[in-house]
Amino acid sequence: MNDSQKKKVKNLRRNYSKGVYALQMEAALEEAQRVDSPKVAVIAQNFGVSRTSLDLRLKGQLAVNASPGKKPLLNEEEEERIVQFLLEMSAMGFGFSLVSVRKLISSILGKDTSSLTTGWVNHFFVKHPILTIRRTEAFDRLRVRAIDAEILSFYFMTLEMAFLKCKELSGGANLTAGRILAMDETGLQPCAANRYVIAQKGKKSVQALTSESRDHLTMVAYASAEGCSGNPFFILPKRIVNFLGSHFPGSKSAVSGSGYMNDTVFEEWCEFLVEDLRPRRQAPHLWCLLVLDSLHSHTLNPKALQILNSANILAVALPSHTSSFLQVHDISIFGPLKKYFRSSISNYAREKSIHIQLQNLPEILEEPWVLANNSLNVKKGFQKAGIWPLNTNWVQENFEAIAVFKRKDKEEQLKELNDDRLLKGELKSIFKSLEYLDLARKLPEPFSLPNVPLRLERALSSIVSQSKESLKESLLRKNAPRKKYYWRIL
């Protein structure tokens, strides 16, 4: 082999990844299969390929499309199946770490091989760029069980009925973006800190100095689909004189023993909502739609619903444990708010004082609130949740995202959800509330009183059609223990 041929072979081997060597091997095979072809050694030298590899391919001992170099641990099909398995497990909430991936592949090969080094794993990720390392978010089991296509379809059917009911109550006037509201609450603490900071490269432990206070503050927020956010409402675990000070003009605060929402505080918030909306509503006689989560303090509070009813506000509750998919604030507002809040509280600790208490939070929170509640974030949240514009095909469009939570025992799971959660919980509480108001026998049809959340149509229908004794029996009839279901890889 002369110098030019050696240089040609060197350049070909340098371009393995570009597929040049494979093309040359195919050409050499075609040449060798001719009747008047020269010896294998001559063909290999002319085409710049390995004589041994060419000979093995001609004898059928090596695949024609085999890649040059050392035999890989996994073939292309096995690697593709592993990639799909990793993606499916990640979508279901059971993602693998790098160490777990090495153990998985070792178990597939049936031996603990030394070839599964960190370099091999890194090359595996380079070869399959669809894979990456991402920070996880906790997603509890109850949320997984609630993500079901039929439950979500029923919610959007109820939401569509709510639009029609508001139109009927408003004398035929269609709902507009300014009359569609969503509310939610989130928790804040003085001990928050930045999750990511600039530090020396290679340093193993990076600390963030935080306040010693572990008090909890709840912020209740609401927004309209036209992109406007109302004034926030704060829930304190103890009474603080002049808590808001000069910050958040128009906002109010309430006190609960735990710092979380309860029936009394929600009634106060409903009164606050009515007052806060009054200067913004151009036509108070037109009904508004309020989407809220399905806490008992929200949906099973007759006094609060009467307050909303008297202000021409119709309440619709989200299905339980679905706020990460359907709650406007969880989708696009509270995430940026928490990020800006952690940054703001770190700046406050660095520039003013590390001794941060609850009374310092309004000053710290004011700027993050403005940044997070911009018009674009609010509108995107309503659009993503399928509320405005009303998207009745939301389940079909997001079927792939929710299909990973679907189990084979779907009918049994739905029956368990309906019997244990809906009947024993919500229907029983609704019955007690309606018994207290003495409305059970006065309802001529569902939704005749707009202060009742629309997701309880079936509950009201059963209350109207059945006597109180038979309803109590049906509520207490299901006493069988729950079955346990586990994810299985088939």
pLDDT tens track for 17-71: 445 677 778 788 888 887 677 778 888 888 878 888 888 888 877 777 776 667 7
Quick count: other Cβ atoms within 10 Å of Cβ 145? Answer: 18
Q: What is the pLDDT of the chain when averaged over all its residues?
A: 78
Report d(CA 410, CA 151) in Å as an integer. Answer: 12
Q: What integer pLDDT is reported at residue 122 of this predicted model? A: 83
CA distance 147 to 322: 7
What percent helix, strand, coil does the chain show, rounded to 5? Answer: 50, 5, 40
Least confident interval from 138-147, 361-370, 430-439: 430-439
Give the model's pLDDT for residue 487. 28
Q: Indicate the pLDDT class of residue 478, thresholds 50, 70 and 90.
A: very low
pLDDT at 368: 95
Q: What CA–CA distance (Å, rounded) separates 153 from 123?
A: 43
> What is each CA distance from 102 to 99, 111, 490, in whole angstroms?
5, 11, 21
pLDDT of residue 251: 96
Residue 218 in this model has a pLDDT that exceeds 90: yes
Q: Model-level pTM?
A: 0.63
Mean pLDDT within 269-284: 94
CA angle centred on 142, ends 136 and 145, rounded to 5°: 100
In this predicted structure, the answer to whether residue 128 has a pLDDT above a threshold of 60 is yes
Read off the pLDDT band of 196 (50, 70, 90): confident
Q: What percent of the chain has pLDDT over 70?
A: 73
Q: Is 229 helix (H, G, I), strand (E, B) or coil?
A: strand
How is residue 20 written in tokens? 């040049």
Phi then psi dihedrals of residue 159, to 5 deg: -65, -40
ω into residue 389 within 30 of 0, thus cis?
yes
More confident residue, 8 or 199: 199
- Of 45-59, 64-78, 205-219, 462-476, least confident by mean pLDDT is 462-476
Averaged pLDDT, 371-380? 94
Q: Specify the domain boundaries for CATH 3.30.420.10 within the chain.
A: 141-403
CA-closest candidate to residue 335, choices 90, 189, 137: 137
Supply the pLDDT for residue 375.
94
**pLDDT tops 70 at residue 342:** yes
Here the tokens at position 262 are: 């309860």
pLDDT confidence of residue 208: 85
118 vs 98: CA distance, rounded Å: 9
pLDDT at 134 over 60: yes
- Going by C-alpha positions, the residue among 207, 209, 206, 216 that lies closest to residue 185 is 216
Per-residue confidence (pLDDT) for residue 145, from 0 to 100: 60
Q: Interior CA angle at 362 toward 361 and 364, to 5°?
A: 60
Distance in angstroms (rounded) separating the CA atoms of residues 448 and 173? 19
Question: Mean pLDDT throughout 362-366?
Answer: 95
Q: Is residue 207 over pLDDT 90?
A: no
- Helix (H/G/I), strand (E/B), else coil: 218: strand
Residue 105 has pLDDT above 60, yes or no: yes
What angle separates helix 98-109 from helix 118-127, to the nearest 10 degrees? 90
Q: What is residue 140's predicted lDDT score, i.e. its pLDDT?
A: 56
Tokens of 348: 């406050």
Structure tokens at 109: 């090969």
**Buried-state track 459-472, b at ≥16 Cβ within 10 A, e below 16:** bbebbbeeeeeebe
- What number is the average pLDDT over the span 236-265? 93
Res. 319: pLDDT tops 90: no
Instruction: State which fold the 141-403 domain adopts.
Output: Nucleotidyltransferase; domain 5 (3.30.420)
pLDDT-wise least confident of 293-297, 443-447, 453-457: 443-447
- Whether residue 247 contacts residue 363, with contact meaning beta carbons closer than 8 Å, is answered with yes
| Torsional sign, CA 102, 107, 111, 112 | positive
pLDDT of residue 240 exceeding 70, the answer is yes
Give the residue-averaged pLDDT of 396-408.
Answer: 68
Of residues 432 and 80, more confidence is placed in 80
The reported pLDDT for the residue numbered 81 is 86
What letter would DSSP give residue 72?
P
Tokens at residue 205, please?
Answer: 């432990």
Average pLDDT over residues 202-216: 86
Query: What is d(CA 94, CA 328) in angstroms, rounded to the nearest whole number?
Result: 26
